[in-house]
Amino acid sequence: SQQGEEDPQALSIQEGENATMNCSYKTSINNLQWYRQNSGRGLVHLILIRSNEREKHSGRLRVTLDTSKKSSSLLITASRAADTASYFCAANSGGSNYKLTFGKGTLLTVNP
């Protein structure tokens, strides 16, 4: 079963606006990661937040984690047309093999 579930499934905004995507997961996690996928390409790691962290920043990205609600959000500020892509959260439940369980993703379209 899916560990991470993103919301919304699709999001369309104008350049310069902020984009917020949410992720919920079901079981306890070691960390939660966000990845980006351009159409027809492989995934690119964006940011990782550990279970003992509440917020993390990387450039225009801000990730929050609420373990009590088993949820995370990804905020992209001042969006650009080049941010158009699918965004996936991936839950890592620990273990030496570091398996990730991915959600279905949010398709973000940034209109110029």
Partner 1 sequence: SQTIHQWPATLVQPVGSPLSLECTVEGTSNPNLYWYRQAAGRGLQLLFYSVGIGQISSEVPQNLSASRPQDRQFILSSKKLLLSDSGFYLCAWSWGGGETQYFGPGTRLLVL
Q: How far is the CB of 13 from partner 1 (least distance, A)?
A: 20
- Give the integer Cα–Cα distance in Å for 91 and 101: 5
Residue closer to partner 1, measured from CB, 15 or 67? 67
Residue 83 CB neighbour total at 10 angstroms: 18
Based on CB atoms, which residue is closest to partner 1, 15 or 93? 93
Q: Least distance to partner 1 from the beta carbon of 64, Å?
A: 19
- Contact residues: partner 1, CB under 8 A: 2, 4, 30-31, 33, 35, 40-45, 48, 88, 92, 96-105
| Closer of 15 and 104 to partner 1 (Cβ) | 104
